[in-house]
């Protein structure tokens, strides 16, 4: 059999068999529209409400604070645009974020800037962190929202969310966090951590793609960004993605159940991988090793193109990611690595390995075996490589 090793769990994850099994009835016989009153519609309705409870239990909120969306991207858009539009009417048109956010946040902020909003992009330090103090100093009279990711998708750094939330609470500013990468990897409790709005996504935790949640703290009212038939208590219209929502509910439940064990296993594998890979000359890790997601490692290899490295790994059956191209196929270096103060060369030579609950010791040993000769070969042909 051909080798296949999946090490790109920050991009998406394999759907869990158990989750799929729970979804299938809603793709087959049970296709009722959840807004109808006959029995197969009511089955869909109660499945959605069950999922809402599963999500609420996992993040420590009330079921009525959980709103289903089409994914992390929509949740980010809703939190930011929905706040901006609503609070602009009260003269609040300033948003605070960081320079390492996911594009779902950054591009939304840039769009709002073009519409006349003011955005402060806090700079992370060379380890990849912002501080609550930076946030405090940036808040002003007109600030309507602070949006700062829980953990970064490229380098895995975990921000001081509870402290940032406290500052926002004290100043009366709404606090949104994109917790897509953090979910199932750190303990999240929106009440304890002073979070007002939070985005999460199903497909990063072994659920189906195309479904997410925006947690909206009771008492907060956003403008709607998707209008129509009035689903999700008139806040997010569109016929519910019942099988997706069901899948997310079971995925989050399973993820919470497996979390401790998963973190333990992944941490062991990660340490083994780091130790071996750093033996490669001119290799380094991007972002702090402390306060970092257990499954994310971002390496740089001097004088190497991340893209070429990915292609060579792909030939060996290994799926990984490079900071450089991401979704667009463009060769722009990663904005996250540049934000750490890395040079373009280092940013271009990066390799993100993201482990998951299905990653095995054999997978890691295989990577450790094939990576050094690939790096050697690429350096031989690199014009940048001199002794
Ligand atoms: C994947 C990801 C998103 C986007 O979520 P989708 O469900 O794919 O739209 C947003 N933010 C972060 C940090 C992510 O990793």
- DSSP at 123: P
Q: Ligand 1 atom 10: the closest Cα is on which residue?
A: 72
Enumerate the domain spans of the chain. Answer: 5-13+258-380, 17-254
Residue tagged 């089409």 (tokens): 70
Atom number, ligand 1, closest to the C-alpha of residue 201: 7
* pLDDT number for residue 327: 45
Residue 300, both tokens? 């740089």
Q: Ligand 1 atom 6: the closest Cα is on which residue?
A: 72
C-alpha 25/C-alpha 48 separation (Å) is: 13
* pLDDT number for residue 328: 46
Contacts of 334 (CB under 8 A, 6+ apart): 154, 323, 324, 326, 347, 350
Q: For a pocket test of ligand 1, which of 12, 178, 354 has the largest count of ligand atoms closer than 8 A to its C-beta?
A: 178
Of 313, 302, 306, whose CA–CA distance to 330 is shortest? 306
Q: For a pocket test of ligand 1, which of 128, 157, 159, 181 has the largest count of ligand atoms closer than 8 A to its C-beta?
A: 181
Classify domain 17-254 by CATH number: 3.40.640.10
* Range list of β-strands (E), the chain: 5-6, 66-69, 94-98, 118-122, 143-147, 174-178, 197-201, 212-216, 283-285, 296-301, 318-319, 350-354
* pLDDT number for residue 2: 84
Classify domain 5-13+258-380 by CATH number: 3.90.1150.10
Residue 82, both tokens? 């929905």
Residue 378, both tokens? 């690429």
* Range list of β-strands (E), 173-232: 174-178, 197-201, 212-216
- Helix/strand/coil for 183: strand
Q: How far, in Å, is the centroid of ligand 1 from the Cα of 116? A: 26
C-alpha 157/C-alpha 180 separation (Å) is: 13
Q: How far, in Å, is the centroid of ligand 1 from the Cα of 254? A: 20
Order of strands, sheet of 350-354, starting from the edge strand that comes earlier in the sequence: 283-285, 296-301, 350-354
CB 72 within 8 A of CB 180: yes
Q: How far, in Å, is the centroid of ligand 1 from the Cα of 38? A: 36
* pLDDT number for residue 257: 98
C-alpha 166/C-alpha 175 separation (Å) is: 9
- Chain-centroid distance of CA 90 in Å reads 31
Q: Is the dihedral of CA 118, 124, 128, 131 positive or negative?
A: negative
Q: How far, in Å, is the centroid of ligand 1 from the Cα of 36? A: 32
C-alpha 158/C-alpha 170 separation (Å) is: 22
* pLDDT number for residue 333: 87
Tens of pLDDT, residue by residue over 122-158, are: 999 999 999 999 999 999 999 999 999 999 999 999 9
Instruction: Tell me the three-class secondary structure of 254-295, residue by residue.
Output: HHHHHHHHHHHHHHHHHHHHHHHHCCCCCEEECCCCCCECCC
**pLDDT < 50 stretches in the chain:** 326-328
How many CB atoms sit inside 10 A of residue 88's CB? 18
How many CB atoms sit inside 10 A of residue 155's CB? 28
CB 289 within 8 A of CB 319: no
Atom number, ligand 1, closest to the C-alpha of residue 72: 5
* pLDDT number for residue 384: 80
* pLDDT number for residue 323: 67
Kindly report the pTM of this predicted structure: 0.97
* pLDDT number for residue 386: 73
Q: For a pocket test of ligand 1, which of 10, 73, 186 has the largest count of ligand atoms closer than 8 A to its C-beta?
A: 73
Q: How far, in Å, is the centroid of ligand 1 from the Cα of 107? A: 13
Q: How far, in Å, is the centroid of ligand 1 from the Cα of 172? A: 27
Q: For a pocket test of ligand 1, which of 100, 101, 104, 213 has the largest count of ligand atoms closer than 8 A to its C-beta?
A: 104
Q: Which residues are catalytic?
A: 326
Q: How far, in Å, is the centroid of ligand 1 from the Cα of 180? A: 6
* pLDDT number for residue 298: 97
Question: Which residues are near ligand 1 (CB < 6 Å)?
Answer: 71-73, 102, 104, 149, 153, 178, 180-181, 201, 203-204, 212
End-to-end CA distance of the chain: 40
Atom number, ligand 1, closest to the C-alpha of residue 210: 7
Contacts of 264 (CB under 8 A, 6+ apart): none
Q: Do domains 5-13+258-380 and 17-254 have the same CATH topology?
A: no
C-alpha 264/C-alpha 24 separation (Å) is: 31
C-alpha 292/C-alpha 274 separation (Å) is: 14
Q: Ligand 1 atom 5: the closest Cα is on which residue?
A: 72
- DSSP at 225: S
Residue 227, both tokens? 């209008």
C-alpha 297/C-alpha 41 separation (Å) is: 45
């Amino acid at each position: 059999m051909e080798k296949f090793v999946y090490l790109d769990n920050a991009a998406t994850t394999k759907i869990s068999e158990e989750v799929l099994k729970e979804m299938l009835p809603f793709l087959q016989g049970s296709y009722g529209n959840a807004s109808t009153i006959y029995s197969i519609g009511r089955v869909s309705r109660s499945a959605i409400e069950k999922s809402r409870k599963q999500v609420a239990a996992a993040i420590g909120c009330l079921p009525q604070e959980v709103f289903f969306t089409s994914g992390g991207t929509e949740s980010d858009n809703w939190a930011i645009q929905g706040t901006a539009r609503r609070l602009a009417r009260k003269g609040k048109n300033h948003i605070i974020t960081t320079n390492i956010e996911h594009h779902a946040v950054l591009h939304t902020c840039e769009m709002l800037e073009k519409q006349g909003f003011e955005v402060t992009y806090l700079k992370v330090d060379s380890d990849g962190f912002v501080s609550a103090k930076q946030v405090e100093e940036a808040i002003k009279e007109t600030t309507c929202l602070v949006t700062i990711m829980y953990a970064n998708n490229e380098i895995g750094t975990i921000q001081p969310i509870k402290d940032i939330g406290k500052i926002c609470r004290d100043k009366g500013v709404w606090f949104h966090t994109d917790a897509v990468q953090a979910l199932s990897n750190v303990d999240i409790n929106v009440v304890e951590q002073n979070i007002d709005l939070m985005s999460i996504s199903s497909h990063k935790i072994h659920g189906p793609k195309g479904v997410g949640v925006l947690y909206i703290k009771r008492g907060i009212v956003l403008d709607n960004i998707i209008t129509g038939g009035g689903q999700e208590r008139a806040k997010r219209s569109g016929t519910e993605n019942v099988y997706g929502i069901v899948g997310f509910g079971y995925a989050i439940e399973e993820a919470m159940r497996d979390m401790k064990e998963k973190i333990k296993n992944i941490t062991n594998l990660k340490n083994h991988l780091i130790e071996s890979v750093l033996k490669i000359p001119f290799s380094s890790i991007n972002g702090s090793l402390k306060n970092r997601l257990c499954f994310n490692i971002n390496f740089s290899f001097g004088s190497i193109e991340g893209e070429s490295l990915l292609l060579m790994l792909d030939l060996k059956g290994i799926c990984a990611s490079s900071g450089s191209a991401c979704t667009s196929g463009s060769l722009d270096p990663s904005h996250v690595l540049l934000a750490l103060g890395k040079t373009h060369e280092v940013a271009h030579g990066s390799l993100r390995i993201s482990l998951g609950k299905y990653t095995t010791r054999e997978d890691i040993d295989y990577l450790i075996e094939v990576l050094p000769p690939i790096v050697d070969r690429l350096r031989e042909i690199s014009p940048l490589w001199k002794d």
